[in-house]
A = this chain, B = another copy of it.
Amino acid sequence: MARAATTSDAFNAIAEPQRREILVLLRGGERPVTELARDLGMSQPQASKHLRVLREVGLVRARGAGKQRLYGLDARGLRPVHEWLGGFERFWSGSFDRLDEYVQDLKQARQEEPPDDDDQ
């Protein structure tokens, strides 16, 4: 198996930096493809492809406007992602001091143990 499709869910769709930039830009309002491509310094086909992915996940909607096609944000699909991350909020907020203890434990363990830190 390869990696999951970018169109499988919002998690995969926003894993790509350029797609995140597109979403950020669209926060300011609808935009045609060429404008997005220009502002983000990518080719028009690439912009279209990224927009296609975002469309298939439902994060973006297209609307024909004459020769152009205006893309607009539909960020509702990001909500589940945000909520999933919210489940970890207590681990980085101050009220949860257990992390600090944990980190201390780690430091101790690391000092005592030989460097098996293969981590890059």
Contacts and interface: CB of A to CB of B under 8 A. Distances in A.
A27 to B, nearest CB: 7
Interface of A: 3-4, 6, 11-12, 14-17, 20, 23-24, 27-30, 35, 38-39, 55-56, 61, 63-64, 72-76, 78-79, 81-82, 84-89, 91-92, 99, 102-103, 105-106, 109-110, 113, 116-117, 119-120
A92 B14 CA distance: 17
B78 A92 contact: yes
B3 A109 contact: no
A64 B75 CA distance: 42
A91 B27 contact: yes
25 contacts: A4-B16, A4-B17, A11-B20, A29-B109, A29-B117, A30-B103, A30-B110, A39-B120, A56-B120, A61-B99, A63-B103, A63-B105, A64-B116, A73-B88, A73-B91, A74-B91, A74-B99, A74-B102, A74-B103, A75-B92, A75-B99, A78-B92, A81-B85, A82-B86, A85-B85
